[in-house]
Amino acid sequence: MTTTTPTTEDEKAAFLAKLKAYEGRTYGPPMRGPDPVNQAMIRHWVEAIGDENPVYVDPDAAARSVHGGIVAPPVSLQAWVMRGFRPAASATSDVQDEIMSLLNGAGFTSVVATNCEQEYFKELHVGTHLSTTTTVESISEEKATGLGVGHFLTTLVRYTDEHDDLVATMRFRILKFKPGTGRSATQAKTDAEPATRPPRPRPAVTQDNAFFFEGAQQHKLLIQRCSSCGRLRHPPGPACPSCRSYDWDTVEASGKATVYSFVVNHYPQVPSFDYPLAVGLFELEEGTRLVANFVGVEPDAIEVGMPVQVEFVEHDAELTLPAFRPVQVTA
Amino acid sequence: MTFNATGLRYDDVDVGDELPPLDLPLTRSLIVATAIASRDYQDVHHDPGLAQERGSKDIFMNILSTNGFVGRFVTDWAGPDAVLKKVSIRLGAPNYPGDTMRMTGSVTKKADGLVEVAVRGANGLGDHVSGTVTLELPRD
């Protein structure tokens, strides 16, 4: 396919007319899920999601509930008709392929799902065997979005059971867009500025480093120490790099340090942080180094070698982290 | 948050009620396990190398799993006798491994045995998901 990007108003109108011709069309014959709703697949789903609702796995609890027996989570709707790891060649539809190659050929090669609306009319009881029919509901004119210039494609999927009863509908909207045509990251951020900013991302706490974060919570800066050879180490790990011992304890640092190195982040901006964001590599007087933020100093006033002292910043109820403030050197 | 085994009745719920928040650590295992449990074998949900080739910084959670967590978040609060009627979500920032998604929600409408809950799941990049869930609760 050698279509090029429509640029003039006439070309855009002609392209849109081609797309609009697909509205109301159906993606091939109905597709039937490989298996009826069954306990084994429900169990895989609820285990992965961590859903402890007994009506999905406990026959007695399910029988006592309003559901009257084991059901699948209604939000698992799509899983019952997924094509799987090795889809049959017949699992694609001509109409879908045609729309995609039309859009891809015009440069709208990237795709992102933007909306999903599911409405449920019957429950997914064990034994329900779903089939789907997908219809193109609408294809939008060209839109400028934060991600890029593109067309929204909205499909309506009807889920029916083995009796041809309507079980659910799903309206699914994707944006097919031209990569690299979005508003600048700064602009997109302004548009999407949340009313309250999200909490600072949680650290990945492991059994090796939990002491560090628990210490910070109590305003203590702890360093891991090998109990066999006494060597201090950071970041925390299971074994001593010197003597390979697995035995360790911790010592509390004085909090006196110097700036070993630092970086000032400007981009990309994450809503939980203030920018420009200075991040330091601090060398403690005990000898280990750690990464932390600065407090009480503008990024352009930071210098390598600067003496600093630890403080503890309570980001929220669950998260306190060390940060370092420059200290005035008295002559 | 744990599952509300007793369950809510329609009369227990008022507009403005807040759902107990759910903090979901987005481990790599969780993203892969939920993708496979939903029979979604697209490589961007389990293969970091191929995800990067396709322009994503890492693997990311699939939409079926997002729906799964939205459903769980609401029924964790509402209990075993809740029947979901409608789930309408808008998708935003991807759920990448290493991040945490905090799910919050509140009751926005109540009429004729049906309750509408506004739901939001935010990660370090912003809102991953926002939307509404309509559920039926027992009335007696």
Give B83-135 pLDDT, tens digit per residue: 999 999 999 999 999 999 999 999 999 999 999 999 999 999 999 999 999 99
Confidence of residue A316 (pLDDT cuts 50, 70, 90): confident
In this predicted structure, what is the pLDDT of residue A3?
Answer: 52
CATH: 3.40.50.1970, 3.40.50.300, 3.90.700.10, 3.10.129.10. Which one for A9-191?
3.10.129.10
The C-alpha atoms of residue A118 and residue B48 are separated, in whole angstroms, by 30
Least confident of A95-109, A194-208, B116-130: A194-208
Is residue A186 scored above 50 in pLDDT? no
Is residue B137 scored above 90 in pLDDT? yes
Calculate Rg over the CA atoms of chain B. Answer: 16
In this predicted structure, what is the pLDDT of residue A276?
Answer: 87
Q: In whole angstroms, how far apart are CA A199 and each of A36, A194, A220, B60, B125?
A: 42, 12, 22, 20, 10
List, in order of start, the domains of chain B with CATH numbers: 10-136 (3.10.129.10)
Task: For residue A49, list chain B residues with Cβ-Cβ distance below 8 A.
Answer: 34, 37, 65, 68-69, 72
- Is the confidence metric ipTM above 0.95 for this complex? yes
Is residue A270 scored above 60 in pLDDT? yes
Task: For residue B34, list chain A residues with Cβ-Cβ distance below 8 A.
Answer: 48-49
3-class SS at B24? Answer: strand
> Which of B9, B28, B64 to probe the A interface (max A CBs under 10 A)?
B64
Chain A from 15 to 44: CB within 8 A of any B CB: 41, 44
As a whole number, mean pLDDT of residues A215-229 equals 94
- In contact, A257 and A283? CB cutoff 8 Å: yes
As a whole number, mean pLDDT of residues A37-57 equals 98
pLDDT tens digits for range B45-97 = 999 999 888 778 899 999 999 999 999 999 999 999 999 999 999 999 999 99
Number of residues that this document lists for chain A: 331
Q: A125 has which bridge partners?
A: A71
Domain with CATH 3.10.129.10 in chain A: 9-191
Contact of B124 with chain A, judged by CB distance below 8 Å, is answered with: yes
Q: Which of B40, B98, B124 sits opposite A270 (nearest CB)?
A: B124
CB contact under 8 Å between B67 and A194, yes or no, is: no
Is residue A240 scored above 90 in pLDDT? yes
Of A174, A178, A186, A102, give the one whose Cα is nearest residue A147.
A178
The C-alpha atoms of residue A121 and residue B86 are separated, in whole angstroms, by 9
Residue of chain A whose alpha carbon sits nearest to that of B30: A48
